[in-house]
Structure 1
Amino acid sequence: MSLYQKGVFVIKGLREFTKSGYQAASKSFVESDLNKDASGLVFMITGANSGIGKAAAIAIAKKGGEVHMVCRSLDRANKAKDEIIDESKNQNVHVHILDMSQSGEVYKFADSFSADHGKLNVLVNNAGCMVLERKLIGEVETNFATNTLGTYILTKQLTPLLLRSEQPRVITVSSGGMYIQKLNANDMQLSKLSPFDGEVSYAQQKRHQVILTEELAKQHPNIHFSSMHPGWADTPAVQNSMPDFHRRMQGKFRTPEEGADTIVWLALSEAALKQPTGSFFLDRRPQSLHLPLAWTRESKQDRAKFLKELDELAEKLKPK
């Protein structure tokens, strides 16, 4: 990251990604957008036991939606489920245990869920990780396995189920960190990055997610795809993975509910469906995918190479 990129990113972040940025943007929100009865609609949210995933689950459950929480820890998921039910007064909340970094298990879960359920209206790809040291799961780096590969496989495998529903939606929670990363198509798992940097890895994968959202939107015009940036929200993930950043930004963080607002808007509102599929959102508005003069645009060839290699890796890891 150049000094220019860092400077522009910090200025943009302090102006738009903080609590004050949310407060300024929210003045233009249309309150009636979320006057929605979600009864009869089925929602899946990965990473729904804490942070913005949990906040989104509560908001959707309050609207009457059937919520399926996909989480890694049974104890944390069940505790969050009880809290979601208690706050929303909606008993139709369900827990599924899945480690998104385990590609074979993601395939099995998606196939099992599809066999057991008649429809899925909205998929929210929220689960993510930032492991600061390079760790491998088989031949796949852990951050990449969770943030890019797991998200891709789950979305791809659930697409037929989504297409059974009227106006299905897929929402992927990316990050503003993607603004400082250009797609590295020649080393998509950053195996040559030395020393390994978990924050760079995470930001690169958030760029992956935005690209995948655009490409899947082209492939499946009957599904409304979107990616979004929740802003800088005070969540356990930020506290644990970025303690220095968390300490410096005290007083400026959004609440998890503020971070989740655009997820809920994208999942429920008719206004969201009027926006172009494949767009990237912050505070209910489509955003540019690149900072000015930051040189982060990939070539068509690099994008095609990334997509081809990702799909080949996903197929290779598919259970026989």
Structure 2
Amino acid sequence: MEFLMSYSAAVCIVILILYALHYGKNIACRRGCKSNAKLTGKTVIITGGNSGIGKRTALDLARRGARVILACRNLQKAEDAAKEIKTRTGNSEVVVHHLDLASLQSVREFANKIIESEDRLDILINNAGIAVVSGEALTEDGFPSLFGVNHFGHFLLTNLLLDLLKKSGPSRVITISSNIHRCILSPMDLTRVESDDNGNIRRGLYPRLKTYHHSKLANILFAGELARRLASTDVTSVSLHPGVIFTPIWKNVWSRIWILTPLYYILGPLMWLLLIDEEAGTQTTLHCALDESVSHLSGRYFTNCEVSEPSAMAQDEELAKRLWEVSCLATGIKEK
């Protein structure tokens, strides 16, 4: 019995030491956005701003006086979020527009509405995204859902709003990526599948681009290529890793497989201990949106409120150019 008690005590001590090391390396060292910038008279669009870090970001920017446009698929959740943000900040300039990134038609309709109704656009935050889908789910336009929503939708949206961003300069495009892009070891296959012998479009126009990892790599490549193409303008383009965050998305991921749902509630407290919270997860986005120094760092990738080097593949300019060409073809954008 004494041996078991000693053994248990030793295990507990080891666990506490490991957690202390993890806390110091990944949580306690998190930097916060130091900017005191006010955004009165500025307009911001945040995709997916009705929950998670998108909502937290919208709340902070609204407190700074910005006109905040929540671009969301679920209008009821977006209206609820807008109401809460207005109440907490006293800023009535929080509006909601429908945007479904899984539909290029919806993206075009949203962009047209913004162009018609807004005089300026100072910050575009490409925040929305999905991390898991059921089976071989496709977007309305035949793209694998993860890549279609996380990359093609934002690619089209940004390009359609570029003239407004240029007109409003200095302005910024901030694209949320993830360090998970580092897990990709083989080259990105951008081959498009056209039609079968009967002239029918095959399932999934870009069948190799179906993982979350690929979509997050594409986010960085897109932001970098956009920066190069806008080098002579007042539009800054950056991408970032917000951190590994404990958000509702984890519940959505686990609930996709019903038998795993109970594990979420069992492991939830452990995840809360190991991951950063939503407020910490917004800080790098806020830094990229507000800090004056970022305007001189267009094309860079940020982690924990500072410049970080992404994977070698994410820095491949030829791959970025090829992805841009493919994205123009996929979304119907005429390449300039």
Equivalent position SS for 2:274 = coil
Q: Deviations over 1:16-45 (max 9, x none)?
A: 99785242142xx573xx211110010000
Query: What is the distance in 2 between the residues matched to 1:269 and 1:75?
Result: 33
> Residue 78 of structure 1 aligns with which residue?
79
Within 2, Cα distance between the matches of 1:166 and 1:303?
24
Give the corresponding residue for 1:55. Answer: 56
Given the alignment of the two structures, is residue 309 of structure 1 paired with residue 326 of structure 2, yes or no? yes
Is the partner of 1:249 in helix, strand or coil? Answer: helix
**Cα distance in structure 1, aligned partners of 2:167 and 2:28:** 38
AA in 2 matched with 1:133: G
Give unmatched runs, 5+ long, in structure 2: 1-18, 193-204
Q: Distance in 2 between matches of 1:299 and 1:279?
A: 13
Matching residue within 226, 241, 244 for 1:216:
226
> So what's the TM-score if we normalise by structure 2?
0.78
**SS of residue matched to 1:140:** coil
1:37–1:63 CA contact under 8 A, matched in 2: yes
Q: Which moved more, 1:86-95 or 1:182-191?
A: 182-191
Q: SS state of the match for residue 106, structure 2?
A: helix
**1:283 matched to 2:283:** no
Quickly say closer, same or farther: Cα 1:20–1:311, change in 2 above 3 A. Answer: same
Task: State the Cα deviation string for residues 52-95 of structure 1 (Å, max 9, x = none).
Answer: 00000000011111100001111111111111112112111000
State the 1:15 CA deviation: 11
Q: Which residue of the partner structure matches residue 67 of structure 1?
A: 68
Maintained 8 Å contact 1:180/1:296: no
| Structure with bigger gyration radius | 2
Tell me the residue number matched to 2:279. Answer: 257
> Compared with structure 1, are the counterparts of its residues 38 and 77 closer, same or farther at alpha carbon in structure 2 (3 Å cutoff)?
same
Q: Aligned letter for 1:271?
A: S
Task: Please report the TM-score for the alignment, with normalisation by the length of structure 1.
Answer: 0.82
Which of 146, 154, 157 is 2:149 aligned to?
146
Structure 1: gaps of 5 or more residues: 1-13
Distance 1:15 1:132 in 2: 37
**Matches for 1:187-266 after TM superposition, within 5 Å:** 187=191, 191-192=207-208, 201-221=211-231, 222=233, 223-241=235-253, 247=267, 249-266=271-288
Kept in 2, the 8 Å contact 1:185–1:306? The answer is no
Residues 30/138 of structure 1: CA separation in 2 closer, same or farther (3 Å cut):
closer
Amino acid at match of 1:23: A
Q: 2:189 aligns with which of 167, 185, 190?
A: 185
1:97-136 mapped onto 2 (5 Å cutoff): 97-130=98-131, 131-136=133-138
Distance in 1 (CA, whole Å) between partners of 2:102 and 2:96 is 18
Question: How far apart, in 1, do the equivalents of 2:172 and 2:280 lie?
Answer: 21
Question: Equivalents in 2 of 1:146, 1:19: separation in Å?
Answer: 35
2:221–2:315 Cα contact (<8 Å) kept: no
CA distance in 1 between counterparts of 2:146 and 2:20 reads 29
Change (3 A) 1:237 1:187: farther
User: 2-side partners of 1:139 and 1:77: how far apart?
Assistant: 26
Taking the aligned partners of 2:316 and 2:33, their CA distance within structure 1 comes to: 37
Greater length-normalized contact order (CA 8 Å, ≥ 6 residues apart): 1
Cα RMSD after superposing both structures: 2.7
1:23 aligns with 2:28: yes
1:7 corresponding residue in structure 2: none
Residues 243-295 of structure 1, C-alpha deviation per residue, up to 9 Å, x if partnerless? 77973634111111110111112112213224x201111111111112xxxx7
Percent identity between the two aligned chains: 26
Q: Answer with 247-256 or 62-71: which moved more.
A: 247-256
